[in-house]
Amino acid sequence: MLEIVILGRGGQGAQTAGNQLAKALFARGQFVQTFSTYGGARRGTPVTASLRADKNPIRLRCDITSANAMLCFDDSLLNEGFLATGADDALIVVNSAQPPDAFKAFGNRRIIPIDGREIARRNNMGKVVNSALLGAFVALVGQPDIETMCAIIKDTAPAKVSENIAACREAYGLAASQLEVS
Amino acid sequence: MNAPIRNENLQLLNGNHAVAWGVRLASPDVAPLYPITPQTPILEKLIDFKSADLLGTEILTPESEHSAMAAAVAASATGARVFSATSSQGLLLMHELLHYAAGSRLPIVLFNVNRTPAAPWGFWPDQIDSLSQRDTGWVQLYSETPQESLDTVIQAFRIAEASELPVMVNHDAFYVSHAVEPVSVPDQGAVELYLPKVDRSMWLDTDIGRAIGAPIGQDGWNRTRREMDAAMQTIVGLTKDAGKAWGEMSGRPYAPLELYRCDDAEVVFVTMGSMAGTAREAVDRLRESGVAAGLVKVRLFRPMPMADLHAALADIPCALVLDRNYSPGVGGVLHQELMAGFYGAENAPRIFGFLTGVGGTNVPVEMLEKLAVDYRQAKQNNNPIWVE
Amino acid sequence: MNSQPSTLWTHLSSETNHTGTWRSALPLYQNQPSPCHGACPVGGSIATWIKQVKDGDHYEAWLTLVDNNPFPAIAGRICHHPCETACNRAEHDETVGICSLERFVGDLALREGWSFPSPDVELSQSVAVIGGGPAGLSAAYQLRRQGLQVTLFEAREALGGLMRYGIPSYRLSPDILDGEVARITAMGIDLRLNAEVMDEKALTALHKDFDAVFLATGASLPKELPGLDYSQSFVLDSAAFLADEPEAQSSQTGEHILVIGGGSAALDVARTARRLGRKVTVLTLESEGHLPAQQVELDEASEEGIEFITGAMMQSAVGKDGSVTVHATKVDFQIGNAPGGFTAAPVAGSEFTIEVNTIIPAIGQDADLARWNGILNTSGPVINISGAHGKTSQPGIFAGGDVASMSRFVTQAIGMGKEAALGIVATLVDDADVVAPSQEPEVLLDRINTAYHVNHGRNTQGLAEVASRLETFDEVQQPLAPAQAQSEAERCFSCGTCTLCDNCFYYCPDVAIIKLEDGYEIKTDYCKGCGLCVAECPTGSIHMQEDIAS
């Protein structure tokens, strides 16, 4: 079972990203379950989206405490509490302009910074980073495939469809080349 | 658990939208609704359907849940099929009218999203909101998954209309209400065959001199409760019939209780709602590790299918009741129900009551595995046990 | 399907439960007289016309008013308004300003040119009305309304009597008087001006020529003050003074005028004199608080700089070189047991003098009865009448107004004229439709549910500035604005007059009241006699009556 936790601030699109990722995985034949928890939800407060995907129906109805992969929309949210919900070897994609060395303080974890802001800016997406982060995440996690991901974005993006897809593809390419390097 | 089959025409729906789909298929005449987190997506989806002309239901939006239930009572008394939905504080505000609806024998279906009641303020899955309405005369069903919620809300109309008792269906906040999953949406025509619209034998009609609920003497009032008792006695059977017929139609049968790997079990979990899913996982892992575990999922809570429970637990030495609720001064409500139901029974299992996930705290698989290992051989202890 | 609960549904309407059998009392809708109506000298349907004002039906309100009084604009200015004294609202906050509302409607009628309808039928019976003052005009109006033929004899050159010659224009503008009088004469009256019926012979002739005579010659003889020489040039007759034009008034009076008397006429003289620029002192026998004039007149007079010496008696007046020394003494004024009776003993050692230039005594007028000797009983101070309809000792001769009453109020005279007319009609016309006054008890405050009447003080009329008042004879009291009139009308409790508010309909716990177009009906099968409708009635127009028979 693939368990993913996405962390962002309210309004950044973490919940949307979770739903898009679930749709893409579902489209590739997997059973999925995604849910978010929020309280008195408002812009700027941390929002967590959880995602499970498996070839069998998902039965678990509890929080993810050992995620295989994690996606963090904002490096200021990256802390031990969040990291504790992932497995020791979890792949952690974080939206950050900082180099990988900057995250040494978190120990021997697989933290991969992706400069989603820069990619979004280059693709005329302003500060909206979720399509870029999804592209990078797909490249690093290895599923679903980039074509399915782009198809889902095409179906679900509320605006700027081609820009969203371009950002997704650019981040995918960047992350894939980074993976080859490492 | 009735998982959808992968090759069906599935939609990714969260639990609340699955409920809205069930309501759309059941096609009630009237739905008085008032928004409240985390129920609101049910209301929103129904209004989406309505505005897209996909729903014939008359949606009323009164000024409070109390008024919503008052409107539901009045509409149902005219013979209309009526649905409403709420959660937590909203359900508590409806309380007075819940008695009124049941006492009037009105087959209203109410969907409640289980959420912690204030104070303190919270939005988390906890079933004390609906369990504290236990004595209002409503049939109560608890759902584990979005798929089950869709399926159950339709069955609920069938049970309600056959018994002329109101039915409340519940699912947990977030773990079910907001969990997006593949859901099989049945065909409208099939649902219409399953749930035909029938005329009630009695209804308010301005052309007919008839009234409901007029003041009455002590004996008359007493008789209404004995009649309600008789109707409650039919609910287990009606729930079985409704679940069986649903299975024949959809391939997903339901029953008042669901037994999972209970054969030859030395210890079983007994629980309601979303936690049953995690418990299944725990049962599988325990079985793999050599502990003969099982799960009894209580789907029909009121009336409690006690005869079925006795049968299910007949040869099982240990039952671990998992309550995502806390009745102050007592403990878990389901635990107390079982203790009462098994009092004096021969070969009754040892029954332990665990307060797990009260206030929506996380209940991971490992916690349940450990409970089974720790308590399968333990001596009877009547006191509720808080689990962290 | 379950069988239906046997006790939940009721298959019969609650109409099968005849709660009316429980009853020992039944409410009765009955419009009953309000205290204001009872106090009104013309028997005005006050609650009715104020309700019409409240509903915006101003024309209908005027029609109701003129049923009893053809002079609403005049009465609205000068009536002594015993209706307001009787008003139930006094104990709630303040009485309703009935006069100001009446003036509002009366003025509107004059502005709009509303006229009296012609009589439904013309009758042959003829009536001679002697005297064109308030009583005579009121009688002539009521007689014409019924279709009788009226000939009106007036001694002076214009109609109005005291209203024209006795009331100064700052209280009653002449154009108002002219307007309301013209409306009456337009009904077709044979008018004889400058036609004084001088003596018993003339009256006898009219008695013979007409089917009936109404005598309303007023009170034209001034009462004389003992100790005052009326032949002196510094003494003026108050009635003649008031009837004169300002130039004549000015030329006859000195710088400082002493007015003697405490009634309305005395104040009219005093305030007229102030408007001529004179210094004015009023000497009254009555002590303070007991003056017969209206309080509003006394207040306005004080504002205008008139000095009062109350509880005092003139003893002599000595004139010399255009000035007069008045010797007076204070008195111990005591109200007597009989109505209008009093004692006033001089207080020894309280003598004082004042220096003035002119004295105008205004202590009242008497009727000139001597001329009717031989045909009428003239032994009393006024002509003796019996019953409500002004019948004198001589069949066919009726009397009203000051000639037949000591009360000396304009509206009293109007009311007597109306009643005499009704009496004449009843005498002369077969099957006359003369409605007897209601004998029902008045609706008092205890019958009014005041919870439905929000406390709200009276809407008061404005007054002209004192300085400007003294420069002209323009009216002092200013009319209510339309919004004020509406607000004032809404203050009326409508005592005893159903306003169709529906309280009874909504409060009836047995749904036993049916709404009709112009009222309500009790379903006696269901009324259990609880009296809630009566308790919740804001107007006191329902009451319970015993109903044991049911």
Structure confidence at residue B9 (pLDDT): 75
CB burial of C380-393 (b: ≥16 within 10 Å; e: otherwise) equals eebbebeeebbbbe
Q: Can you tell me the distance from the alpha carbon of C472 to that of C394, in angstroms, rounded to the nearest whole number?
A: 47
Contact between C10 and B212 using a beta-carbon 8 Å cutoff: yes
Contact between C9 and B210 using a beta-carbon 8 Å cutoff: yes
Helix (H, G, I), strand (E, B) or coil at A95: strand
Q: What is the dihedral of CA C383, C384, C385, C390, to 10 degrees?
A: 0
Question: Residues B79-108: pLDDT tens digits?
Answer: 999 999 999 999 999 999 999 999 999 999
B363 interfaces chain A, CB cutoff of 8 Å: yes
Residue A40 has pLDDT above 60, yes or no: no
- The pLDDT confidence band at residue C5, using thresholds 50, 70 and 90, is low
Residues 6+ apart with CB under 8 A from B97: B66, B69, B70, B72, B73
Q: Give the largest CA-CA distance in chain C.
A: 120
Mean model confidence pLDDT for chain A: 90
Q: At what angle do helices B365-375 and B275-288 cross, to 10 degrees?
A: 60
Q: What is the DSSP letter of B303?
A: S
- The pLDDT confidence band at residue A133, using thresholds 50, 70 and 90, is very high
Closest CA to C74 of C136, C145, C162: C162
Residues 6+ apart with CB under 8 A from A121: none
- The pLDDT confidence band at residue C540, using thresholds 50, 70 and 90, is very high
Helix (H, G, I), strand (E, B) or coil at A144: coil
- The pLDDT confidence band at residue C19, using thresholds 50, 70 and 90, is confident
- DSSP bridge pairs for A8: A47
B174 interfaces chain A, CB cutoff of 8 Å: yes
**Which residue of A15, A42, A62, A66 to mutate against B (max B Cβ within 10 Å)?**
A62
**Closest residue of C to B223, CA-based?**
C7
Structure confidence at residue C11 (pLDDT): 76
Chain B residues with CB-CB distance to A61 below 8 A: 144, 172, 175-176, 179, 274-278
Question: Residues A7-23: pLDDT tens digits?
Answer: 988 778 888 899 999 99
Mean model confidence pLDDT for chain C: 93
Chain B residues with CB-CB distance to C3 below 8 A: 201
CB burial of B264-276 (b: ≥16 within 10 Å; e: otherwise) equals ebbbbbbbbbbbb
Average pLDDT over residues B326-352: 96
Look up tokens 């333990």; give the residue. B378
Q: What is the DSSP letter of C120?
A: S
Structure confidence at residue C550 (pLDDT): 47
Structure confidence at residue C3 (pLDDT): 53
Helices (H), chain B: 15-26, 40-51, 65-77, 88-93, 95-103, 128-131, 146-163, 188-194, 218-233, 235-250, 275-288, 306-312, 333-342, 365-375
Q: How many CB pairs under 8 A join A and B?
A: 72
CA of B330 vs chain C CAs: smallest distance (Å): 35
Q: Which chains touch C (3 or more CB pairs under 8 A)?
A: B
Contact between B223 and C7 using a beta-carbon 8 Å cutoff: yes
Look up tokens 């109505």; give the residue. C339
Residue A47 has pLDDT above 90, yes or no: no
Same fold, B9-250 and B257-387: yes
Phi, psi (rounded to 5 degrees) for A174 = -60, -45
Q: How many CB pairs under 8 A join B and C?
A: 50
Cα separations in angstroms, C470 against C115, C134, C244, C465, C477: 35, 28, 18, 9, 14
**Which residue of B5, B8, B37, B180 to mutate against A (max A Cβ within 10 Å)?**
B180
Give the rounded percent of residues in chain B with a pLDDT score beyond 90. Answer: 91
**Closest residue of A to B356, CA-based?**
A62
Give this prediction's pTM. 0.66
**Closest residue of A to B282, CA-based?**
A60
Structure confidence at residue C206 (pLDDT): 96
Question: Residues C463-496: pLDDT tens digits?
Answer: 999 999 999 999 999 999 999 999 999 999 999 9
B201 interfaces chain C, CB cutoff of 8 Å: yes
Look up tokens 């009446």; give the residue. C102
Strands (E), C154-266: 190-192, 212-215, 221-222, 256-260
- The pLDDT confidence band at residue C15, using thresholds 50, 70 and 90, is confident
Helix (H, G, I), strand (E, B) or coil at C519: strand
Contact between B1 and A59 using a beta-carbon 8 Å cutoff: yes
Mean model confidence pLDDT for chain B: 95
Least CB-CB distance to A60: which of B3, B6, B365? B365
**Closest residue of B to C3, CA-based?**
B201
CA of B359 vs chain A CAs: smallest distance (Å): 13
Residues 6+ apart with CB under 8 A from C41: C79, C82, C409, C411, C412, C414, C415
B144 interfaces chain A, CB cutoff of 8 Å: yes
Q: Which domain holds residue A36?
A: 2-181
Question: No. of H helices and E strands in chain C?
Answer: 19, 20
**Which residue of B73, B78, B105 to mutate against C (max C Cβ within 10 Å)?**
B105
Least CB-CB distance to A61: which of B12, B123, B278? B278
B375 interfaces chain A, CB cutoff of 8 Å: no
**Closest residue of B to C9, CA-based?**
B212
Contact between B174 and A22 using a beta-carbon 8 Å cutoff: no
B58 interfaces chain A, CB cutoff of 8 Å: no
> Under CATH, to which class is B257-387 assigned?
alpha beta
Residue A137 has pLDDT above 60, yes or no: yes
Q: What interface predicted TM-score (ipTM) does this complex get?
A: 0.87
A35-39, B118-122, B292-296, C345-349, range with greatest mean pLDDT: B292-296
* Surface of B (132-171) touching C: CB under 8 A: 162-164
Cα separations in angstroms, C322 against C255, C269, C275: 10, 20, 21
Structure confidence at residue C4 (pLDDT): 53
Residues 6+ apart with CB under 8 A from A115: A95, A96, A97
B38 interfaces chain A, CB cutoff of 8 Å: no
Residues 6+ apart with CB under 8 A from B386: B354, B355, B358
Least CB-CB distance to B174: which of A35, A59, A65? A35
Average pLDDT over residues C72-76: 98
**Closest residue of B to C6, CA-based?**
B224
Closest CA to C186 of C137, C126, C125, C120: C137
Q: Could you tell me the CATH number of the domain that includes residue A16?
A: 3.40.920.10
Structure confidence at residue A126 (pLDDT): 85
- The pLDDT confidence band at residue C350, using thresholds 50, 70 and 90, is very high
Least CB-CB distance to B182: which of A19, A26, A60? A26
Cβ distance C126 to C148 under 8 Å? yes
Number of domains into which chain A is organized: 1
Chain B residues with CB-CB distance to A32 below 8 A: 12, 180-182
- The structure tokens listed for A152 are 């889902």
Cβ distance C539 to C496 under 8 Å? yes
Question: Residues C298-316: pLDDT tens digits?
Answer: 999 999 999 999 999 999 9
Pick the CATH number of B9-250 from 3.30.70.260, 3.40.1180.10, 3.40.50.300, 3.40.50.970: 3.40.50.970
Question: Residues B240-275: pLDDT tens digits?
Answer: 999 999 999 999 999 999 999 999 999 999 999 999
B387 interfaces chain A, CB cutoff of 8 Å: no
CA of B196 vs chain C CAs: smallest distance (Å): 13
Contact between B364 and A62 using a beta-carbon 8 Å cutoff: yes
Chain C residues with CB-CB distance to B99 below 8 A: none
- The pLDDT confidence band at residue C1, using thresholds 50, 70 and 90, is very low
Q: Can you tell me the distance from the alpha carbon of B91 to that of B86, in angstroms, rounded to the nearest whole number?
A: 6
Least CB-CB distance to B178: which of A26, A36, A40? A36
Q: Do chains C and B touch (3 or more CB pairs under 8 A)?
A: yes
What is the CB neighbour count within 10 angstroms for residue C54?
A: 20
